[in-house]
Amino acid sequence: MADAVIARHETGGAGGGVHAVVNTVVRFSPLLLLCALWEFLGLSGLVSQQMLPGLGEIAQAFFRMLFEGNLLYNTMRSISRAAAGLGSAVIVGILTGLLMASFRPVRLLVNPIVQIFYPMPKSALIPVVMIWLGLGDSSKILLIFLGCLLPVIVGTYNGARGVNPFLLWSAASLGASRSAVLREVVLPAAMPDILSGCRSALAFSFILMVSSEFVIATDGVGYMISSLGDGGLYPAMFAAIFFVAAIGFAADRAYAALVRRVLRWREA
Amino acid sequence: MMMAAKAHHIAQAASSISIHDVSHSYGGRGGGQVMLALDRINLDVGDCEFHCLLGPSGCGKSTLLYLIGGFIPVQAGVIATAKGPVSGPGPDRSIVFQNFALFPWKTVKDNVLYGLKKAGFDAGEREKRAQDYIDLVHLTGFENAYPSQLSGGMQQRAAIARTLAVDPGILLMDEPFGALDAQTRRVMQEELRAIWRRSRKTVVFVTHDVHEAVFLADRISIMSARPGRIEHVIDVDLPKDRGEEILEDPRFIQFSERIWRLVREQAVAATRGAH
């Protein structure tokens, strides 16, 4: 996902079809280099084939899992947890951030809590949510929710606090009520910061989804990876890892495209 | 309440403004130093009058405008319009800021439509009015442009259209042409004067530019700095119809000189800290 962050700046003025495809291939050519290095290390015997199975073997394992195994089922289970946690975090986070920015008592109450919990690694809460909610979906959803909540709150709060006061005054002098100003001016004006907070949250949702499934789950991609590893099925394990990485990458790119659309007004 | 009733009584004409003994200070919170920005301001702006607040920077002219707009609360004294004492912003006193303050995520047309929606016009009437005012400020063809795609002059035109469209009785303008280049500023001044002649609104216009004030205003209040006081209120004794040619008129030049001398006294006093 770090790759996508860098790529975003380079695609700025991408030209027409063929040109864009060539650009994309060139941009991701270091990945081919990495694949070559991987193959070389395995074949040369510098690293055991156990640790770095051949890419062909991994591909074979992937298609077997895809068509005969339960890779898709587990992926859907994982994604539905991540979506539930992330979705609720986005809604609650935006509301909280807007209220913090607009009402002093809310700010005084919530700000210290946010500041203390912001830098805390949320994976440390895995045992806690397990004790609270057991092994079912709800414990993972809660963990993902908590992990995604803070970046959304912080993004929304900073965006809403930074709104040009003249925009607020303009709206008020055009007859907007206080709640209308919040919905129709503060929210869209803060949107760039809200969306970048949500992008961090999206990344956190994948991290917490997989890591929580390592520990507390009976299905999901994270559970698959850890149980395949435990069973010594390394090609299949790598296939699952690459698959979840690819989904994360696709989700980030799709999100970036959505953001470009929503923030069309900024480009000129 | 007595004072409020009195001020209200004075401001009985449709869109006049009555400012009675208004003082305002900044700071003082948490033991900081208190700065008196406005000192016992008294001023009556008549219905359909174009009034300029002219003075050096730091004289509190924008503060006075924001108080009339209801954006900052009145600390002492009373400001009243025909609707009664000012207690907050409202569409009867719409404002144009120096930095346009257009909603950047809305197109020109949607910016103009925003106030019309708030004013409760029905959909058909909204569209028509929005288009009329976009045409009035010569932005026809740019209805669907975002502010970031327009020049400063065009953005300010859009902001003026947005403000005029809701038909405020009182139009407040805070150095609206200050961020524009000299040529654009000149054109905008002429257009504003022409629009005002047609629409007959009460305008309070803040500026530190003597020529701008003389060209636009019926009356000019010259303010002193720190604390802000109104030192002179002067009728502009020039023809109502003012085009570009008036800038060459000896009466305009003489009058501007006279105003400039009065402003200069205040500016010099301000730099010497005489007040």
**pLDDT tens per residue across span B207-256:** 989 999 999 999 999 998 778 889 889 898 888 778 778 888 888 898 89
Cis peptide before B227 (omega within 30 of 0): yes
| Fold annotation for A53-266 | MetI-like fold (1.10.3720)
Contact B106 A265 (CB under 8 A): yes
* From A40-49, A162-171, B47-56, the region with the lowest mean pLDDT: A40-49
**Which residues of chain B lie closer than 8 angstroms to A188, CB-CB?**
103, 105
Confidence at residue A164, expressed as pLDDT on a 0 to 100 scale: 92
Looking at CA atoms only, how far is residue B237 from chain A in angstroms?
A: 32
Confidence at residue B3, expressed as pLDDT on a 0 to 100 scale: 47
Confidence at residue B31, expressed as pLDDT on a 0 to 100 scale: 67
Looking at CA atoms only, how far is residue B235 from chain A in angstroms?
A: 29
Q: What value does the mean pLDDT take over residues A174-197?
A: 93
pLDDT at residue B93 greater than cutoff 80: yes
The mean of the pLDDT values for chain A is 89
| Contacts for A236 with CB less than 8 Å, ≥ 6 apart | A61, A62, A64, A65, A69, A228
The answer to whether the CB of B99 falls within 8 A of the CB of B92 is no
CA distance A100 to A155: 12
Looking at CA atoms only, how far is residue B187 from chain A in angstroms?
A: 24
Q: What value does the mean pLDDT take over residues B109-124?
A: 93
Residue whose pair of structure tokens reads 């405020």 in the numeric block: B168
Pairing of strands B17-27, B34-45: antiparallel
Percent of chain B with pLDDT over 70: 92
* B88 Cβ under 8 Å from any chain A Cβ: yes
A101-157 pLDDT tens trace:
999 999 999 999 999 998 888 889 999 999 999 888 999 999 999 999 999 999 999
A187-207 pLDDT tens trace:
999 999 999 999 999 999 999
Confidence at residue B52, expressed as pLDDT on a 0 to 100 scale: 95
* B93 Cβ under 8 Å from any chain A Cβ: yes
CA distance B267 to B259: 12
Reported as half-sphere exposure (CB side, CA atoms, 13 A), residue A141 has a value of 12
User: Which pTM value belongs to this model?
Assistant: 0.82
Q: Name the residue with higher pLDDT: B182 or A152.
A: A152
- Among residues B21, B20, B23, which one has the least CA distance to residue B34? B23
pLDDT at residue A16 greater than cutoff 80: no
CA distance B167 to B169: 6
Give the CA-trace dihedral at B82, B85, B87, B90, to 10 degrees: 10
Residue limits of CATH 3.40.50.300 in chain B: 2-92+169-177+200-272
Residue whose pair of structure tokens reads 């949510």 in the numeric block: A129
Confidence at residue A218, expressed as pLDDT on a 0 to 100 scale: 85
| Fold annotation for B2-92+169-177+200-272 | Rossmann fold (3.40.50)
Interface predicted TM-score (ipTM): 0.85
CA distance B59 to B75: 17
Confidence at residue B105, expressed as pLDDT on a 0 to 100 scale: 95
Of A167, A175, A265, the CB nearest to B118: A175
Q: Could you tell me the pLDDT band of residue B6, with boundaries at 50, 70 and 90?
A: very low
